[in-house]
Structure 1
């Protein structure tokens, strides 16, 4: 058994989950095989803890988790290790920008998600983790990106070609995985990081083995050490078979 890799860090949407937002039986079976060999399996997602947890429970994971693109790192489910908050003034500025560009927007506080349909007047009283923009208007998205870059102090990625996700600068999945390695006594070269979007790019570049899904954005595929099949073709199962259970 090759135990070169000890941690499998998995993005969720577009990676672990199929287009129907489920974990396929084949992928689930191979993840259990990896766990049986002592491999740590870590969810590394842009989702909130509450949204990611049911999938972790379905897989029987008691390992660390990375949520909200690295704004939260959990020692184990429900045991928070570190949380990185965003200045509420930045949330106000991004909300104003989203309204100005007339695009769909959302934001995660530590308690819940707000969006275009249900916003809050109490921004300054909240504890904020992430802000997101969604628009299929490429020009509008480019204008938003330029203005975000001018604000400074932001980590700007995406989880689909049509959105922008914003965390505090320096907060990303790679930094989250580094913290998880610290908790588990591992090195980054013992990590396989798998993902499909720009918010996975830093992790894919930093890991011992960076894997892009077959459905990944082009820039992510180009940065990866290996491109597996798509999220609807059990790409994760193939990674475990090829690189872990060998």
Structure 2
């Protein structure tokens, strides 16, 4: 079980409880796919936004599956030692105070259990990489998975050994397992079943499983830190993009997913910001912390389109072109993605377009404590559209109640021919 050190609760030295109280005191942020870009850099705009909230008095915690070693250079870049930040590393297995390097809590995997895992994995085409402290131990130092992991972890040293079981002299914080996506996806489920109560195996990416103590995940670590700091969950923002971030988002008062996050993460989030390649962290902090009074009460067209990355909407080529109170327009091409085999528009694509545009319209009308889900779609297909046409959907709200929005959606070709007439009913819910 985690053992808490006798570390005093530390808030950002800039925080003053006598000044205007801050709504949020702790910002917990994942690194890869969230804080950093795809080339593992923090953009100047993101760095400036982080420094602004630090100057306001908020505390920042870097929460990552990386080893502490792989997080320290980012903590240095953001000056977290100066502002009293934290590093939650190894998916929550270790929490370190940046201001004095004290370890607040740690949880390792027993070498005996690692040995059982090693034996179990012999029949799988995967690479195992325990991380005992400041190095990666492997039997295949030339593996591109190992090299990639080292690079992500800021050049963490690699040590090749003839036998992992014999080489481990300390209980590791984490074991990484990498391989082909098809193998890794199934293996993650098998490990959770086979080692239930002994290990926690999390799919942190399509090619990577992170294995920790059963007592470890990012949510438990964040809750522990909140307790140490003496703050409530309502005072915490957490943001991430992968499955291992879900417990953290659920532990925070405001759980945020990146636009590049997978759908499971977005489903549990209270808000979805733009992607890690589109200043998602800056957008989030501007909206909820730095300039909430100036933050657009409604989403803008560019933001809506950025949100469509890697979704059905992007796959079908949908694009929002106009977004106003009670009225929305979107376009969608009639091409191989939206056609039936004979070159005629698929009716299902028309209904998907109608439901999407009505959803955008309802989202525009929501207050910050509301969310929306589609309830019913009913359409009539009036005329066919063919390969090469471009559709324009126009949605008008015809009923705006407390709990429902009813939209009338008409879909036209570029020549003005009415293709479909659709009614969409959305349910409006209050967030938890």
If the length of structure 1 is used for normalisation, what is the TM-score? 0.93
Matches within 5 A, 1:1-246: 3-62=22-81, 63-76=85-98, 78-117=101-140, 118-119=160-161, 120-123=164-167, 125-139=169-183, 141-153=185-197, 154-245=199-290, 246=292
Decide whether aligned partners of structure 1 residues 144 and 40 sit closer, same or farther in structure 2, where only a CA change above 3 A counts.
closer
In structure 2, the CA distance between the partners of 1:82 and 1:136, relative to structure 1 (3 Å rule), is: same
Q: Distance in 1 between matches of 2:105 and 2:56?
A: 28
Deviations 1:123-155, CA, capped at 9 Å, x for gaps: 552221111222224245414531442222222
Local SS of the residue matching 1:222: helix
CA distance in 2, matches of 1:201, 1:145: 17
Q: Separation in 1 of the partners of 2:133 and 2:222?
A: 20
Q: Conserved in 1, the CA contact under 8 Å of 2:131 and 2:174?
A: yes
Between the aligned partners of 2:78 and 2:223, the Cα distance in structure 1 is 23
Structure 2 stretches lacking a partner, 5+ long: 1-19, 141-159, 293-432
Q: Report the Cα distance in structure 2 between the residues aligned to 1:152 and 1:123, rounded to whole angstroms.
A: 25
Task: Report how far residue 51 of structure 1 moved.
Answer: 0.9
TM-score normalised to structure 2 length: 0.54
Instruction: Call closer, same or farther: CA 1:243–1:86 in 2, change over 3 Å.
Output: same
Check 1:241–1:69 CA distance in 2 against 1; reply closer, same or farther (3 A cut). same
The structural deviation recorded for 1:4 is: 1.5
What's the offset of the Cα at 1:103?
A: 1.0
When the two chains are superposed, the root-mean-square deviation of aligned CA atoms in Å is: 1.8
Q: Does structure 1 conserve the Cα–Cα contact (< 8 Å) formed by 2:176 and 2:208?
A: yes
Cα distance in 2 between the residues matched to 1:116 and 1:21: 26
| CA distances 1:83-104 after superposition (whole Å, capped 9, x unpaired) | 1011112211222333320112
Residues in 2 aligned to 1:140 and 1:40: alpha-carbon distance in whole angstroms: 35
Q: CA 1:81–1:161 in structure 2 vs 1: closer, same or farther (change >3 Å)?
A: same
Kept in 1: contact 2:115–2:165 (CA 8 A): no
**Retained in 2: the 8 A contact 1:98–1:133?**
no
1:144 to 1:33, Cα distance in 2 relative to 1, 3 A = closer
Range with greater deviation from structure 2 (236-245 or 162-171): 162-171
Larger Rg: 2
Q: Alpha-carbon deviations, 1:46-95, whole Å to 9, x = none? A: 11111100010001012122010010011225221111011112211222
How far off is 1:192 after superposition?
0.5
1:116: Cα distance to partner?
Answer: 4.4
Q: Mind listing any 5+ residue stretches in structure 1 that lack a counterpart?
A: none
SS at match of 1:231: coil
Deviates more, 1:199-208 or 1:93-102: 93-102
After alignment, is 160-169 or 29-38 more displaced? Answer: 160-169
Q: What does the per-residue CA deviation read over 1:200-243, in whole Å, with 9 as the maximum and x for residues that have no partner?
A: 00011111000011111110111101111111111111111011
Contact 2:250 2:268 in 1 (8 A): yes
CA distance in 2, matches of 1:202, 1:24: 27
- C-alpha distance in 1 between matches for 2:246 and 2:210: 13
What is the rounded CA distance, in whole Å, between the counterparts of 1:71 and 1:94 in structure 2?
Answer: 18
